[in-house]
Amino acid sequence: MVSAGDFRNGLTIEFEGNVYQIIEFQHVKPGKGAAFVRTKLKNIKSGGVVEKTFRPTEKCPQAHIERMEMQYLYSDDMYHFMNTETYDQIDMTADQVGDAMKFVKENDMVKMLSHGGEVFAIEPEINVELEVTETEPGFKGDTATGANKPAVLETGAKVNVPLFVEVGDKIMIDTRTGEYLKRV
């Protein structure tokens, strides 16, 4: 059990039958009346964000989130993952996976986040190296500062890249933001 006075960003708690991650918290001491803790909570299964206030003495059970390294095998009508130590396989639908797989190639490692044995999210590696399969050519003399053009990567994801990036180039992408980092 964790009291509301000990809340920190990133902490996961069980509250009203759901599992929430604390995005923001603020201890408020008004001039009149008792102190309270104002929070923004993100439901880790649905992704919805709610604002709640707690008395500093209120207690919530802390939720234990398990992170498991899994290898992405392939997709047909389902996405297939395998634990490389036990060789157990997990199948997930496109709705369960969401946008998490747009920067993941076959045989890449991902982290499966689960609570109570139920997988609720997939975290790909933070930086991935992918090949550009489609983009328009940059023109000589077109050197406006910070100019970008759209590109399609080998996984089918669309990102903006600098004008000097060509088809066949390998680039580094930040999977959290979908931004181009550098050419490899």
Q: Using one digit for the tens of pLDDT, what is the confidence trace for 153-174? A: 888 888 888 888 888 888 888 8
Q: Count of CB atoms within 10 A of residue 171's CB?
A: 20
Residue 64, helix vs strand vs coil: coil
- Is residue 143 very low, low, confident or very high in pLDDT (cuts 50, 70, 90)? low
> Is the Cβ–Cβ distance between 135 and 149 less than 8 Å?
yes
In order of start, what are the domains of the chain with their CATH numbers?
A: 2-60 (2.30.30.30), 66-124 (2.40.50.140), 127-183 (2.40.50.140)
Give Rg (Cα) of the chain. Answer: 21
Helices (H), 14-169: 94-97
The answer on pLDDT for 117 being more than 80 is no
From CA 163, how far away is CA 70, in angstroms rounded?
36
> Is the Cβ–Cβ distance between 150 and 138 less than 8 Å?
no
Average pLDDT value for residue range 62-73: 86
**How high does pLDDT run on average in the chain?**
83
Q: How many Å from the N-terminal Cα to the C-terminal Cα in the chain?
A: 47
53-76: b or e for each residue (b if 16 or more CB lie within 10 Å)? Answer: ebebeeebeebeeeeeebebeebe
Whole-model pTM over 0.75:
no
The answer on pLDDT for 139 being more than 70 is no
- Residue 61 is classified by DSSP as P
- Is residue 128 very low, low, confident or very high in pLDDT (cuts 50, 70, 90)? confident
> Tell me: the pLDDT tens digits for 84-111?
888 888 888 877 777 778 888 888 888 8
From CA 175, how far away is CA 157, in angstroms rounded?
11
Percent of the residues in the chain that have a pLDDT greater than 70, as a whole number: 95
Query: Strand 170-174 vs strand 12-15: parallel, antiparallel, or unpaired?
Result: unpaired
